[in-house]
Structure 1
């Protein structure tokens, strides 16, 4: 595969990994169209590029992660919510994603889950409109209140994102916003929870592909991933809760339409 193509696709991966559209689905389509490789191989390359975005998240949240690791004691009592996001959540994600991942690799046919992401987009828009008049939405929760039950639920939902077309960011952020977490905290929790899973999957596929050219894509995914994360956190701080829901829903619907167009080209 040409290095230039991987550089471009890696940059795109770095950006869309952290916004609520399916990066695996979109990158898969681009890889197939630009390089002419099979959908199965394109799927493996799209997952390998996640190593770059995982490293970007590790860099971005290095202080929070370091603090969380220091506060985990031997009795496995998680005093820091970040500890839950880095252990319990990915463990649950693995239990859900592992069988789905094997099934997709063995019997990959087409992107059939884009509709799920589109439905999530409609749900976010509807929730945003409802929250305009809902006083209950004012009772926001903070990441400091993150519980074991919520960590497990987040992990289960995140595991479904292994399916091409299902956006990890969309379903996890939608869940956290639906649980009334503060917008900024919802984004941070979603991004931190992604680190173990995306790192493991990305590293596995990078080793499996064993091609020096994939490093080029991973590098650009890392650089643009850092930029995208900072941008999304800034947006979450400035945009009101209901407006953010509507904005994210609109982005998801738009990405679904773009995916349909790409498939027909």
Structure 2
């Protein structure tokens, strides 16, 4: 077993776990981290970047099991709150499932690069900054209060997350806030909405590209990175929920803008960050 490769996989797992639920783009950071470390071949790294996100989303399932189980069983039993949340998540998942299945590979082929990441970070940062400066009126204080119409609109906004650098969490949290969902409810709904999207994308990418992994060691590296992403994401989820209860996302807006400008500068000038 290649120790350096395992160490790189662990670093990628930590990057994924920390960035998946922050509005700063986990995919963008994973692409940059893989290039920084010269992690694996391009083919293997691209599959790893998508598949490892399933570890982070498993942390959401673990942390919110009771509420998610209530949403799943509510679809069958008709229990009001559970059924409403379950249907809301289904409605919100439809747009990205359709677009992702139709154009996911094209996005991966043409937009998994530094310039796309930089532009996604900058534009997303400016949107976060604007929303925080002009906070909308809250009409849905809890995740159970999000209407079907609002859920579907959040799902449409989530389609933007296919572009690296945009951030699925950033798009859904800020998009929900623009629709009048409270910061806490928007964050939790974003957590839940990632489950079908990320698991679906990860399994589909593995099915389409399993042939790039040449042996048992490759699968061990992928499994180890996924485990690390689970542990680090579980920690981040608990910290983030406590954070959004007291603070805004302005720090992430500035982080996105500054880091995007730095990445864009190096990408356009040809200088190397490393």
TM-score (norm. length: structure 1) = 0.85
RMSD value over aligned CA atoms? 2.7
For the residues of structure 2 that align with 1:3 and 1:235, how far apart are their CA atoms?
32
Q: Distance in 1 between matches of 2:204 and 2:55?
A: 13
Show the 5 A alignment for 1:77-226.
80-107=83-110, 110-111=113-114, 112-131=116-135, 137=137, 141-206=141-206, 208=210, 210=213, 211-226=219-234
Distance 1:104 1:39, change over 3 A: farther
SS of match in other structure, 2:245: helix
Distance 1:72 1:120 in 2: 34
The 1:206–1:52 alpha-carbon spacing in structure 2 relative to 1, beyond 3 Å, is farther
Match of 1:5 in 2: 8
1:84–1:113 Cα change, 3 Å: farther
User: Could you tell me how far 1:202 is from its partner in structure 2?
Assistant: 2.1
Counterpart-to-counterpart distance in 1, 2:158 and 2:185? 17
Q: Which runs of 5+ in 2 are unaligned?
A: 214-218
SS of structure 1 residue aligned to 2:76:
coil
Decide whether the 8 Å contact of 1:169 with 1:190 is kept in 2: yes
The answer to whether structure 1 residue 256 and structure 2 residue 260 are counterparts is yes
Name the SS for the 2:220 alignment partner.
Answer: coil
The equivalent of 2:20 in structure 1 is 17
CA 1:120–1:108 in structure 2 vs 1: closer, same or farther (change >3 Å)? closer
Using the size of structure 2 for normalisation, the TM-score is 0.82
- For this pair of structures, how many residues does the alignment match? 257
Partner SS, residue 87 of structure 1: helix
Residue equivalent to 1:59: 62
Unaligned 5+ segments in structure 1 are none
Aligned to 1:247: 251
1:13 deviation in Å? 0.7
